[in-house]
Amino acid sequence: MRVGILLTGIGVIVAAFGILFFLQGNSIVGPHASFMYSNPKWIVNGEIISVAGVGITAFGIGISLRRPRS
């Protein structure tokens, strides 16, 4: 059960970073001097990273909700 909670936390952090990268690629947040700022490559990278984070989060929640067989 602790593994599920750990995976859920990691997934949320990864998804948050993916959203941040997506927003930087779209020139919404971040310093203008950043290599990610206004870079279309980081729009796609941010989407992929955030989807992976959501998948990790869902997997962690699934592990946490699974009942042990007795």
User: Could you report the per-residue pLDDT of 53-63, keeping only the tens digit for each?
Assistant: 999 999 999 99
Q: Number of C-alpha atoms within 13 angstroms, CB side, residue 12?
A: 7
Q: Report domain extents, the chain.
A: 1-27
- Mutual orientation of helices 40-65 and 2-25 as an angle, nearest 10°? 160
Average pLDDT, stretch 27-44? 93
State the average pLDDT for the chain.
93
Instruction: Report whether 29 contacts 23 (CB < 8 A).
Output: yes
DSSP 28: S
Kindly compute the dihedral angle of the four CA atoms of residues 9, 14, 15, 20, in this order, to the nearest 10 degrees.
130
Residue 70 reports pLDDT greater than 80: no
